[in-house]
Structure 1
């Protein structure tokens, strides 16, 4: 559709068709399209220039200046593997840092590959183990995940005959040279632009929350609401550059992710407070006081985030004043709300009155998470510190938890690591048994063509074989025409590399494979005497690697995340049900312990399976449940498990605790029923979840006295009760939304 359709006709006289105005307009249109295309493709072209420059410079130095052939091959392939095959995210500085950080692992992989190449069986076992470990290491963050394919190649390259441990020093030196040159190119040659750090995005969102909290009734703050919406969206993982995501298992990244969750929830609660209350509603004085405290705490937090310096004792934002204001408001509102529950069977009044209290809770968590991010590990001593049990956990345990969280066949990351490891080991075994002339290419084809579904792998194989066939024909012609004139190959190498590394990402897999075939022919013709027969060898090796990739795709989880997303979401629903029971027990009986790690693990596995599922092509993507709504329910369950057990007070009398247990059991049973339905993978008859039985609660809850020694204790108990009711009500609303979408 023309983007101008539906717009008003232009004013002014029309120019004659075919006149100079139309010609100039056409030129302007072409110029605008060219400018837009240039900006869109700048990253691809820049990366091609960087990889070509680093790899060619490394090759020419080692091959022609030093006359060290093994060193030249490893220097070149290091730049190609970490620059073109890998997908390291981030700015030029971030990419260079990741490349340099990968040097110790690269040295170890090349050494192991060289030593294990002594026998086929040892190379195959090494490929199986190392292939899995390198692929699985991507669980620790986007940068390592992006570098993993290139790191695989660093082990693949030396694990083939000839067994030449005497060349190990040259190989390692070549790798170091290639990595350093690539890092320099990433940093200084057409570097990727810097993006705002996540900490500053967080500060912008906190500032937006402060501006929204400054609104104390009256007309809706349209600009503040729009700003808050933009700031909240900017913190979504899909909107943040992968290199800037707080996704690693470090304490700082965990605190940053915790702060991001808190500020997004704070923005949502403030937005709901202002929009539900109406455009001309006058706020209660205690609401205004609480909003003022929220705004002050948010501004201090934003200022600390922008400074980014480590906090000294007594410095930085504090949640003490906000907590002092929040405690009596929470108790007072709980008492006032209980008095009106008999006319509020749908909890409309309760939800509206609770918004500002929930917003204050989120602001407190935000302040503490920011303090932890900036070095204060004593935040768990705060009255709201129950959410920060990880604050004093040793960093090694945090890394261990992250590495083991996906160590299950139900994890798509584990499945992918197994699929790649099996494929690479099978390719190495076949290349060794058949004594293929260039077995390295077989493994390279298996590595680059294996996908998470058989359908996607078959599509990739078809494109790759077509591109390799065309590239092989062109390479055979080139080798036959040029023969052994190295000068011609040396002149052609940067041109062929630049075209291949540009056309591949822009035009698709067929162009990538065809271009890389030309690159290989031009490169190896300068290393060893080569004839036109090198081209068909390359085609046969790619065909063998493609068949192996297809076979592994058929054997190992051929449907990718299609079935796993249902299993992981069902497991998440079961974890939510368990968390509901455990949290309620801890709130009512002050006993037991909510297993937050179980909910975290289920939530992480579900998110990963959904992310992969959304990236896989589907023949019939319709008819799926609202999977993000299930993730929201998991986040709500985790939030209650973090916050409610740390609330002061005790639920009395015993009958009210029994009612809360009963209500929680019903909600948990509904989530278990949903889990069973998802596991069954069919539209079974079901009954929608029922709302909370508020009438039953009112029949048991005695009125809170307005005076006397028992008032304060009973008011705190009422606040704990209503916080738990709000939590269960939110989980029930999540469940009803999921059922509606199904």
Structure 2
């Protein structure tokens, strides 16, 4: 068995031990110590719901913190469930609303999403007759005890090991980048390149443990995401600088100075990330010196490149020149995002125009924006929330109308067996029924043999729980359902007198819940993310096209007014940053929807696995488009030369048209041959570009425009390359 497999087994066994310990201690203390049966049941089921049914990610410390954070919501859910149980219609309506809200709350981060199934159960438990508001105190006390015991077990009993915090990964990436930058063109040792590539790969969202992923809508997490994007860009550009053909030639003094500045700034960001101390405005790592060095390099090399560029060279010189400039830009963003992460919100006033518009946005506005970003039928999170809410409400209605003896098992079956596709739901139901049938037979035999001897059940409960919570995750759904059937029988036999008839009741309820889950799976988006991934990628391609158009329009100034500092043509310092941040909302939202649909699609089983487009390449193109929209509009200078501006607009329109054509193909016609977008028309640029005499009185202003032009061309060339790669995979 592989090391990864052993770690997985150890994690499952450890979690089973923790849940069993917390559930049994709470149950025995309340049942046999205090004689409070309701409190005993709720203490045990709280540990089971938040420890076994929920999938809370993270280390022992993080899991314990998540459990304790969920306590206020749990108290509210138990209270609502108890009060709404008075009427079936009230319980059904509450189940519809609560089911949707809890499932949809997963948009705010992996920890909340992982806890959602367990939180659903906390409402399901008390929302059945008998209507007993007088037991609310026992229920709440049992919940608090179970949550406290589970949190303590997660923290101290075979805890999951701590993982490096995300800012530590950022610090490692910044430090590796500094090492590469300080080589100044000398050949990079293999181990140093490997370290830099590993550091960049460690920042990929798929590589970061869910509990450590900066996924919430807080300013700190948004700053970490911004810093991670900048760090990965920085490492990629430095890697290309050291591995490209002719990379080890002698660098010019201004390039060496710029690389030195990159190394110093990246090293300062790494130190701040390791220290983790709060920063006041002006404290911490600085990027002002690097920005001062970047300006001359950008403008002088832009003029030099335009003078040397010919039709045969095409984009070779532009690409070489852009690597150092883009690395410096990424370093500036990394430093500013690091300062914002530790509390310096003045970074949105950066004179280079970098877009940190969210820096001064209030927390409620950020949370509201996140919560509303998926309120659309095109979001798989919205679809899943609707599917689960409808299924649970229907199950509660059936259980109430038919007056089922243990109705909450119907809802539990619906909750645990409903999947995102009808194919997966059918497969889950088959396994669950087989497992429940086997468990019911064993439970019926146990109840008939032991009868009402509670001491026997008390002795059997810990090993039965331990086996059920170990074999279920390791062996599959059938084992999980069979084991849970035995757990339920052993637990309830200690609360009230039960007979072997409990086993067939459990089987009937699971069958009822399974049918309801299957019907909901067939009615509500039965294909899961299979169709939605194409729609979301098509919408993302359209958003990329719009982003290209907006960015090109902002860097071209037909009036000749232009700008030379932090003041935009629309007026006001930093205005470009605020305008760009406002427009970035569209591509950010499309990117979030596309990522969620792709993540779900990759987890869903398929009867046929046909060849799929390179979906990650579309996400990469969107990130490239967003990076340009963040950086280019805030740059000094504007392209005021009419012919050059017209060429850039046409080039941007052609690239945008390619992405719109891609969107139409993804959304409608899947079989037509994919069009091939032509490469960037560099010959056309050479024919219209404005030559700048060395003794020109406005050479500095024109140099700013030339630098902005070349940065825009490199950006468009990258997006065209992305588009070509996507088209080749269709």
Match of 1:396 in 2: 364
How far off its partner does 1:485 sit? 0.4
Match of 2:697 among 709, 721, 736: 709
Match of 2:255 in 1: 287
How far off its partner does 1:313 sit? 4.2
Q: Is the 8 A contact 1:55 1:76 kept in 2?
A: yes
Match of 1:42 among 10, 22, 26: 10
How far off its partner does 1:65 sit? 1.0
Match of 2:89 among 121, 133, 145: 121
Match of 1:18 in 2: none
Q: Please, which moves more after superposition, 145-154 or 589-598?
A: 589-598
Matched, 1:618 2:606: yes
Match of 2:620 in 1: 632
How far off its partner does 1:34 sit? 10
Question: Equivalent residue of 1:642, what SS?
Answer: helix
Q: Is the 8 A contact 1:59 1:72 kept in 2?
A: yes
How far off its partner does 1:650 sit? 1.4
Structure 1: distance between partners of 2:4 and 2:190: 33
Q: Is the 8 A contact 2:311 2:686 kept in 1?
A: no
Match of 2:41 in 1: 73
Unaligned residue ranges in structure 2 (runs of 5+): 558-568, 571-575
How far off its partner does 1:705 sit? 1.9
Structure 2: distance between partners of 1:220 and 1:301: 22
Structure 2: distance between partners of 1:672 and 1:344: 30
How far off its partner does 1:292 sit? 0.8
Q: Please, which moves more after superposition, 548-557 or 652-661?
A: 652-661
Match of 1:359 in 2: 327
Match of 1:493 among 457, 461, 464: 461
Match of 1:379 in 2: 347
Match of 1:322 among 263, 279, 290: 290
How far off its partner does 1:442 sit? 0.3
Cα deviations across residues 508-567 of structure 1 (Å, max 9, x unaligned)? 111000000000000001111100000000000000111111111000111110000000
Unaligned residue ranges in structure 1 (runs of 5+): 1-32
How far off its partner does 1:224 sit? 1.4
Match of 2:51 among 73, 83, 100: 83
Cα deviations across residues 470-512 of structure 1 (Å, max 9, x unaligned)? 0000000000000000000001001100010011011111100
Question: Equivalent residue of 1:160, what SS?
Answer: coil
Q: Please, which moves more after superposition, 49-58 or 270-279?
A: 270-279
Structure 1: distance between partners of 2:114 and 2:669: 34
TM-score w.r.t. the length of structure 2 is 0.96
1:527-566 equivalent positions in 2, closer than 5 A: 527-566=495-534
How far off its partner does 1:655 sit? 2.2
Report the RMSD for the aligned CA atoms in angstroms. Answer: 1.4
Match of 2:594 among 588, 593, 606: 606
Match of 1:696 among 681, 684, 697: 684
Match of 2:489 in 1: 521
Match of 1:14 in 2: none
Structure 2: distance between partners of 1:650 and 1:317: 30
Cα deviations across residues 681-703 of structure 1 (Å, max 9, x unaligned)? 41214431111222222222220
How far off its partner does 1:36 sit? 8.0
How far off its partner does 1:344 sit? 4.7
Structure 1: distance between partners of 2:686 and 2:248: 32
Match of 2:675 among 681, 687, 701: 687
Match of 1:438 among 384, 401, 406: 406
Match of 2:629 among 618, 637, 641: 641
The alignment covers a number of residue pairs equal to 710
Structure 1: distance between partners of 2:651 and 2:231: 30
1:171-570 equivalent positions in 2, closer than 5 A: 171-278=139-246, 280-344=248-312, 346-570=314-538
Q: Please, which moves more after superposition, 614-623 or 431-440?
A: 614-623
Structure 2: distance between partners of 1:308 and 1:232: 21
Structure 2: distance between partners of 1:112 and 1:220: 63
| Distance verdict in 2 for CA 1:350–1:659, change over 3 Å | same
| Distance verdict in 2 for CA 1:386–1:36, change over 3 Å | closer
How far off its partner does 1:35 sit? 8.7
Question: Equivalent residue of 1:273, what SS?
Answer: helix
Match of 1:741 in 2: 729
Structure 2: distance between partners of 1:36 and 1:715: 55
Q: Please, which moves more after superposition, 491-500 or 656-665?
A: 656-665
Question: Equivalent residue of 1:237, what SS?
Answer: coil
Structure 2: distance between partners of 1:203 and 1:598: 30
Q: Please, which moves more after superposition, 346-355 or 104-113?
A: 346-355
Structure 2: distance between partners of 1:41 and 1:216: 47
Structure 2: distance between partners of 1:598 and 1:40: 39
Match of 1:655 in 2: 643
Q: Is the 8 A contact 2:219 2:359 kept in 1?
A: yes
Structure 1: distance between partners of 2:711 and 2:382: 38
